[in-house]
Structure 1
Amino acid sequence: MAPAFRAIVLWLALLGVLSSPMTAAGERQPSWSELTPKQREILAPLAHEWDSFSDVQKKKLLGVARQYPKLNAEQQKRLQSRLLEWSRLTPEERELARKNYQNLKQMPPEKRREVKRKWQEYSQFQAEEAKPEAATPQAPAAR
Structure 2
Amino acid sequence: MNRTIPSRLIRTAFLALALWPAFAFAQAQPAATQYPEWDQLTPTQRDALVAPLRERWNSNPDERSRMVERAQRWKTMPRDQRDRAGHGMQRWEHMSPEQRTEARGLFHAMRDMDKEQRKVFLADWRKKSAQQKTEWLKAHPAPERRERARQ
TM-score (norm 2): 0.49
Aligned equivalents of 1:66, 1:30: Cα separation in 2: 24
Q: CA deviation at 1:119?
A: 0.7
Q: Which of the pair has the greater relative contact order for Cα pairs under 8 Å at 6+ separation? A: 2
Q: CA 1:59/1:16 → structure 2, altered by over 3 Å: closer, same or farther?
A: same
Aligned equivalents of 1:57, 1:97: Cα separation in 2: 23
Q: CA 1:76/1:86 → structure 2, altered by over 3 Å: closer, same or farther?
A: same
Unaligned 5+ segments in structure 1 are 33-50, 127-143
Aligned equivalents of 1:22, 1:99: Cα separation in 2: 13
What amino acid is the match of 1:16? W
Match of 2:86 among 91, 98, 110: 98
How many pairs were matched up?
99
Indicate the percent of aligned positions where both proteins have the same amino acid. Answer: 12
Aligned equivalents of 2:46, 2:107: Cα separation in 1: 27
Aligned equivalents of 1:98, 1:81: Cα separation in 2: 18
Whether contact under 8 Å (2:18, 2:70) holds in the other structure is yes
Q: CA deviation at 1:91?
A: 2.0
Q: What secondary structure sits across from 1:104 in the alignment?
A: helix
Alignment match, 1:16: 20
Cα RMSD after superposing both structures: 3.8
Runs of 4+ in structure 1 over 3 Å off: 4-7, 22-25, 29-32, 55-58
Match of 1:79 among 51, 67, 85: 67
Task: State whether structure 2 residue 110 is matched by structure 1 residue 122.
Answer: yes
Report Cα offsets for 1:11-42 as digits up to 9, x if no partner.
224152232437768xxx9947xxxxxxxxxx
Task: State whether structure 2 residue 49 is matched by structure 1 residue 60.
Answer: yes
